[in-house]
Amino acid sequence: MPISTSLSDASATVALATLLAPLLRAGDVVALHGELGAGKTFFARAIIHALGGPEEVPSPTFTLVQTYDLAPAPVWHFDLYRLTRPEDAHELGIEDAFAEAISLIEWPERLGALLPAERLDVHLAFGRSENERVVTLSGSPRWEERLKALGLP
C-alpha cells in the first residue's frame, strides 16, 4: 500500500528524509519523481545530510551524477533530466551504483526499462500552500515491509 502524507514545509521534508535515511543499504534504489520545483533535489540533499554527507550537495543537473563516500554505503545522486536515451546512463556507471551504492535518482523515468523493479518510489507533488508538498512512498514488496518500520500513518 502506498503511504501518502503531507509535508507542511521544508523542515517536514527534512524530517521525513531523516527518518528514511537509516533504512538505506548498498544496492538500494530510490526513485525521486515530481515536476520541476517539486523538491526532488531538496529531498535527496536531506538524505545525504542525514547520512553524514558534506554541507555542499550541489544539484547534479549539470554533471548528471555526484557521488558521496558515506556509510553504510556510498551514495550516488543522479539527475537524469538531460538524458534522452536510457542506454546513455551506462556511461555514468549506473550499473556499478545499482550493485554497490545507494542510488538516489531524479527524473528516473528517463531510464525506461533500465530502472530496477526493486526500488522505492518517492513521488513529490505541490500541495495547497506554496511550501507544502504531498509525498507518496511506494515500492516493491520488500520495500513495503521496510516502510512499515517508519511508522507512518
Cell of 52: 553524514
Smallest distance from other proteins to CB 143, Å: 27
Which DSSP string corresponds to 49-101?
HHTT--S----TTTTSEEEE--SSS-EEEEE-TT--SGGGGGGGTHHHHHHHS
Measured from the CB atom, is 54 or 72 closer to other proteins? 54
Measured from the CB atom, is 57 or 111 closer to other proteins? 57
Place of cell 545507494: 102
Measured from the CB atom, is 14 or 147 closer to other proteins? 14
* Residues numbered 75-114 forming contacts with other proteins, rule: CB under 8 A: 81-85, 88, 91
C-alpha distances in angstroms, 57 versus 1, 61, 73?
Answer: 32, 12, 17
In the chain, count of helices (H) and strands (E)? 4, 7
- The two beta strands, 3-7 and 29-33, are unpaired
Nearest residue to 78 (alpha-carbon basis) of 99, 100, 54, 59:
59
- 128 contributes a contact to other proteins by CB under 8 A: no
* Residues numbered 39-68 forming contacts with other proteins, rule: CB under 8 A: 39, 41-42, 45, 54-59, 61-64, 66
Smallest distance from other proteins to CB 48, Å: 10
Site string for other proteins, 4-43 (x = CB under 8 A): -------------------------------xxxxx-xx-
Contacts with other proteins, residue ranges (CB under 8 A): 35-39, 41-42, 45, 54-59, 61-64, 66, 81-85, 88, 91, 126, 130
